[in-house]
């Protein structure tokens, strides 16, 4: 069978959510070989219609029958749903690409960013793993940039501050900002505090060490994806009132000396990266310019003024796409290409 003849049955769990809808959009935009789409969501969404390539598909509730015959199942319905249904879908023959936090740090489940560690998608005999985890959005865009730097110079330590879109909390996060901007009273703040005209230095709950769960995801996931426990990550994650993408300020200490021009050329030639770095023209990445794009945008690349073996840079990526939906579809593309 040629690649043009390949037709796969693809399920999307969480098909009516913000990321699930984006997954379906990305499948269509990237011309993924979907022979049949199976949109799946909770009981309150069952029966709704999802358009795809000019056809309407009816949303189903999750069940073993719904996953029967599915080749690839993209999950984005939260960790609880993933723990309940991933093994069921896998038992029915589907390869599950899960966007939740349920399996990311399980030692026997790969955590994959295709630009960084695509080989982890497959077992030693070349067959795809039954469950593959999608990393956290803020981790994904960072490791896309760290990978070429680590291969060339060695990454020793990263200090990262994030500026994360309200859409990182899904439709509820977006709706909260819009209702606050409209002056509507809030019974409870979705982002812990008012997000309109504000910046909230808390994403997810705090842990005993003073870091939030979101921050610890960046610490632990980076080590697993890069397959290097020696990389230190010191994060502060912040929610800001924007759509379109997450921004990150990176301070990267390298093991070897570097030339700035060489670093910029290296990054510009690396997969999944677009350089926007011309301060004289006020060209640098912003959430607005990353919106609806699949790449990680890099700019403000410069040597740390006081630490000559350290880089500063600013990166932005659309958190719904590269930070979630697109990364999952790219994993599916690697699997489809192998077939």
Q: What are the catalytic residues?
A: 137, 246
Q: Do the beta carbons of residue 252 and residue 313 sit within 8 Å?
A: yes
Instruction: Judge residue 281's burial from the number of C-beta atoms within 10 Å of its C-beta, 0-12 exposed, 13-18 middle, 19 or more buried.
Output: exposed
| Residue of 138, 141, 323 lying closest to 217 (CA atoms) | 138
Using the structure block, give the residue that is written with the tokens 């994650």: 237
β-sheet bridge partners, residue 313: 250
Burial 26-56 (b: 16+ CB within 10 A, else e): bbeeeebbbeebbbbbeeebeeeebebeeee
CA distance 164 to 174: 12
CA distance 278 to 276: 6
Measured on CA atoms in the order 27, 190, 43, 136, is the torsion positive or negative?
positive
Dihedral, CA of residue 200, residue 203, residue 206 and residue 209, to nearest 10: -90
């Amino acid at each position: 069978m040629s690649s043009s003849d390949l037709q796969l049955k693809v399920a999307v769990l969480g098909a009516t959510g913000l990321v699930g809808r984006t997954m379906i959009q990305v499948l269509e935009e990237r011309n993924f070989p979907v022979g049949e789409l199976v949109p799946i969501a909770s009981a309150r969404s069952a029966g709704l219609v999802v358009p795809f390539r000019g056809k309407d598909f009816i949303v189903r509730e999750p069940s073993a029958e719904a996953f029967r015959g599915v080749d690839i199942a993209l999950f984005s319905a939260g960790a609880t749903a993933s723990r309940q249904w991933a093994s069921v879908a896998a038992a029915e023959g589907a390869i599950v690409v899960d966007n939740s936090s349920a399996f990311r740090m399980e030692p026997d489940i790969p955590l994959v960013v295709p630009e960084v560690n695509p080989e982890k998608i497959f077992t030693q005999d070349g067959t795809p793993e039954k469950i593959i985890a999608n990393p956290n959005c803020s981790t994904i865009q960072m490791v896309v940039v760290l990978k070429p730097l680590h291969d060339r110079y060695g990454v020793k330590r990263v200090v990262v501050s994030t500026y994360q879109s309200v859409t990182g909390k899904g439709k509820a996060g977006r709706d909260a900002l819009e209702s606050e901007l409209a002056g509507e009273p809030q019974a409870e703040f979705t982002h812990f505090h008012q997000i309109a005209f504000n910046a909230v230095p808390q994403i997810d709950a705090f842990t005993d060490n003073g870091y939030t769960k979101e921050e610890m995801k960046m610490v632990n996931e980076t080590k697993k994806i890069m397959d290097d426990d020696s990389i230190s990550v010191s994060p502060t994650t912040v929610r800001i009132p924007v759509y379109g993408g997450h921004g990150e300020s990176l301070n990267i200490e390298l093991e070897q000396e570097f030339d700035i021009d060489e670093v910029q050329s290296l990054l510009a030639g690396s997969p999944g990266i677009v350089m926007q770095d011309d301060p004289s023209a006020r060209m640098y990445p912003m959430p607005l310019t990353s919106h609806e794009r699949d790449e990680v945008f890099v700019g403000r690349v410069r040597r740390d003024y006081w630490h000559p073996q350290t880089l500063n840079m600013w990166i932005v990526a659309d958190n719904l796409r590269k930070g979630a939906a697109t990364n999952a579809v790219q994993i599916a593309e690697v699997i489809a290409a192998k077939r």
